[in-house]
Structure 1
Amino acid sequence: MEEQYEMLNSSLIALTTHFAQVQFRLRQIVEAAPDEKEALLKSLEEFAFRGIPEMENVVTKRIDKDLLQETIVCQRAKQAELIDKLKIQLAELESYAYEVGDAGLPQNVLIERQKVIIDQLKGQLNLNVDDIDKMPVDELKRYVDNAVGQLINPLRMKEQLVVQLKTQINDLERFIEFLQGDSSVHHKGERPCDCDCSHCTRNVSKSRDHLQGKIVNIVKRISALLQIFASIQFQNTKKFRRNSPKKSMKTRHWGDLRAQLEVAIENVAEVAQEPTEWYADSDYVSDSESAIQSSNGRLATVVRRQLAVALQNLMQHGLVNPNHSLSVVPFVACFKHKAPSDRSEVHAWEIVLRFYEMKNGEKFNSTPARKLSQSFNLDITGGRAVSAKQSLLCVVGNIIASHDVYKRSYDSQFKALVCAGLNKRMLVPWLKLLLRCQPIIEVYYADWSYVVKSGFEDSFVSLDKLSRFQFNLPVDLAVRQLNDIKDAF
């Protein structure tokens, strides 16, 4: 009896709810415009014949596990169906309330428009927030602020440039007025003279007037050039922004560099799979590592000449020198300057040195205990795990200490870092530390560079394939022979 009573009660509630919906739709039809009544009547007909959601609540005391699981699945399906129907009804109610004027924009329409706005902002600001569910709120805010800053900072710099140019133009105009006033004063103080001697006041005044006329013409030309330059920078920035990528699209594309890195990784993996014999010292080793011998020497050759070079070229794609900027000086900035060369002036090893300086690597390696451990090859960690940053700072400090003494090139030091990273299976974690450092990216990399556009993520995946091999590459190859000569004497 209780079960039947509960069933009747739930059925009555469902029936009452259904009648209320029908009554609401009838009222909506009565208040609607004549041209909308036909559509509302069809909607009412569909709703009336849709049926009433079942609200049964059957309680059974003795149910086996299989029947209980089936009942749970069935109940979940009914709940999902009921939720979908309620969502549809809620959307219809919100739409009706919005049309009448009692409420704001419906929630589904609002979410759709917000999504359109967010997609447009992502495209314009170069935002990559695919992992938005994993990022904390503070990091997400900082990421968006950096993206907005990359768009706004160049505009602010252009505004400052235009203000500076206007100030210089005003200074030039005042200088011209000063010269003209000085010329008029000299004319008032002169005495008339009729002689033809070279030291006469009349001849001196003529030469002075001629010189001042030349100066005034030169200053006027410079002022005109500055005005042209300011108008171009202030009014036609969009035009130049559109045309510049077309001219440099081939030089800015990293496809060839990425392909070279992939080929180098495959070559290293192929050689690493071969049975190796450990590296034997050669009679002479140059800075270009042209005298590497034996089977392990072949592996070192492939790593240093192919993998390290390809990785260096890809890291240098889009590198800019922060110290190389256009000087806004009246007699220099107005002339045509040479376009920057395709080859970056900043070396990949300089990025490593900048990171080493930012993280106080010299202070980290200057402790007595660490110097003692480096001298006698001791382990001072005491069983503690060494972080990727600590190992990177230690290796970079060792490379600097061993290579700077003999003035080895940046290429040799970068190759030594790649070899050390492969030996320790830490090349990918080290590169992530370097190429995910936001201050370095903002200062040294252009917005069209490979590091900014892709985050180097696909290269990390490819380089991670080499972590399954055990490498024993010579890190001090560029200085080993020199160290042997020094030890011999």
Structure 2
Amino acid sequence: GTRSMQKKSNQPTPNMKKDIVAKKHFGDIRAKLEVAIEKLLSTVRLTNTYSRHNHRDNGDDDNSSITTSDNEEEDYEQNAIVLAVRQDLAPALRALLEHGLYETNYSTALAVWGCFSTRANYSAANDTMHAWKLFLKYYDMKHGNEFANSPARKLSESFSLDVVGGKPITIKQCLLSGIDNIVKLHEKHNKSMDSCFKSFVCYALNEKKLVSFLRIILKTVPLIENYYQSWSYTKTTGFHDALHSLDRLTSIDFHLPINVSVRRFMNNRDLIE
């Protein structure tokens, strides 16, 4: 009797099966990224329109006549763009990157379902890896710490040069340097992986390299093979469609805050978390 009860408890329930099937669909997640991109583009357009209109109105004024209220309006405009990136774009991008991204092998967990407790297998199947951790794994794989702390790189940073050892810095090196900067910056404030990921998105947009950075990481075969499931958005589509949409942001001159300790954003929890 005990053995039959144990055998029965090890079987996946209908609800578990439904959850597993639901996880494989990425249509809604992909749509949310598209909405977030459109919202950001719209916010940028509105801000640019307002700025041009404001400059025309103040065209004959001396620079010294810029009032406090003007500065507050500029802050508000910038805040709207920052919020569109950190509250909408970054979470939507993260969700799509995390579709089918697991610390443990999901397929293996299903194959040996009867060998371990249902709860153990099901929790393993739900153990989604944070997108930022995937970036850190790339950083470790490419020996990012050694590159970032090399004397040649430190010298280049000291003089704000885009060269390392006399050679122009590559996009891969720029990516490693960016990840390193975000990690060091957030260590001081003990911030979460969410904060790191959002700051990295801001950094990448400022550099006009978000698509380039994502393409490099998502073409790193060992990462994709080890951590993405066959039904994931990334493996199913190669992330090409999303990258094409994100490329619409590349031409925009972003000036997003990366440092979480920027004082004028400290009072707005949504901007820094």
Give me the TM-score of the superposition, normalised by structure 2: 0.73
Distance 2:33 2:104 in 1: 27
- 8 A contact 2:99–2:233 mirrored in 1: yes
Give the letter for the 1:301 counterpart. L
Residue 337 (structure 1) aligned with residue 109 (structure 2): no
Pick aligned residue for 2:98 from 316, 326, 349? 316
Aligned partner of 1:379 in structure 2 is 161
Aligned partner of 1:465 in structure 2 is 248
Distance 1:253 1:323 in 2: 18
Pick aligned residue for 2:76 from 265, 287, 294? 294
Query: In the superposition, relative to structure 1, how do residues 267 and 342 fare at CA in structure 2: closer, same or farther (>3 Å)?
Result: farther
Residue 364 (structure 1) aligned with residue 147 (structure 2): yes
Pick aligned residue for 1:257 from 22, 29, 41? 29
- 8 A contact 2:162–2:169 mirrored in 1: no
Query: In the superposition, relative to structure 1, how do residues 340 and 451 fare at CA in structure 2: closer, same or farther (>3 Å)?
Result: same
Q: How many residues align?
A: 231
Structure 2: stretches of 5+ with no match in the other structure = 52-73, 267-273
Pick aligned residue for 1:474 from 257, 263, 269? 257
User: 1:372-392: per-residue Cα shift (whole Å, max 9, x none)?
Assistant: 443x45215178543210110
Q: RMSD in angstroms over aligned alpha carbons?
A: 3.4
Give the letter for the 2:152 counterpart. A
Aligned partner of 2:228 in structure 1 is 445
Query: In the superposition, relative to structure 1, how do residues 248 and 480 fare at CA in structure 2: closer, same or farther (>3 Å)?
Result: same
Aligned partner of 2:174 in structure 1 is 391
1:299 offset after TM fit, Å?
Answer: 0.5
Distance 2:242 2:188 in 1: 33
- 8 A contact 1:316–1:344 mirrored in 2: no
Distance 2:172 2:227 in 1: 20
1:345 offset after TM fit, Å?
Answer: 3.0
Distance 1:340 1:399 in 2: 30
Give the letter for the 1:398 counterpart. N
Pick aligned residue for 2:209 from 404, 426, 447? 426
The higher-RCO structure (CA 8 Å, 6+ apart) is: 2
- 8 A contact 1:317–1:344 mirrored in 2: no
Structure 1: stretches of 5+ with no match in the other structure = 1-216, 234-239, 278-291, 327-331, 485-489
User: 1:130-161: per-residue Cα shift (whole Å, max 9, x none)?
Assistant: xxxxxxxxxxxxxxxxxxxxxxxxxxxxxxxx
Distance 1:260 1:353 in 2: 25
Query: In the superposition, relative to structure 1, how do residues 295 and 452 fare at CA in structure 2: closer, same or farther (>3 Å)?
Result: same
Residue 303 (structure 1) aligned with residue 85 (structure 2): yes
1:445 offset after TM fit, Å?
Answer: 0.9
Distance 2:184 2:116 in 1: 45
Query: In the superposition, relative to structure 1, how do residues 336 and 303 fare at CA in structure 2: closer, same or farther (>3 Å)?
Result: closer
Aligned partner of 1:405 in structure 2 is 188
**Structure 2 SS opposite 1:406:** coil
Distance 1:469 1:341 in 2: 41
Distance 2:146 2:5 in 1: 51
Aligned partner of 2:42 in structure 1 is 270
State the structure with more CA Rg: 1
Aligned partner of 1:61 in structure 2 is none
Query: In the superposition, relative to structure 1, how do residues 334 and 433 fare at CA in structure 2: closer, same or farther (>3 Å)?
Result: closer
**Structure 1 SS opposite 2:250:** helix
Query: In the superposition, relative to structure 1, how do residues 304 and 335 fare at CA in structure 2: closer, same or farther (>3 Å)?
Result: closer
Give me the TM-score of the superposition, normalised by structure 1: 0.42
Distance 2:214 2:193 in 1: 17
**Structure 2 SS opposite 1:322:** coil
- 8 A contact 2:156–2:163 mirrored in 1: no
Aligned partner of 2:132 in structure 1 is 349
- 8 A contact 1:419–1:474 mirrored in 2: yes
1:479 offset after TM fit, Å?
Answer: 3.0
- 8 A contact 2:104–2:124 mirrored in 1: no
**Structure 1 SS opposite 2:173:** helix
Query: In the superposition, relative to structure 1, how do residues 360 and 475 fare at CA in structure 2: closer, same or farther (>3 Å)?
Result: same
Distance 1:451 1:323 in 2: 16
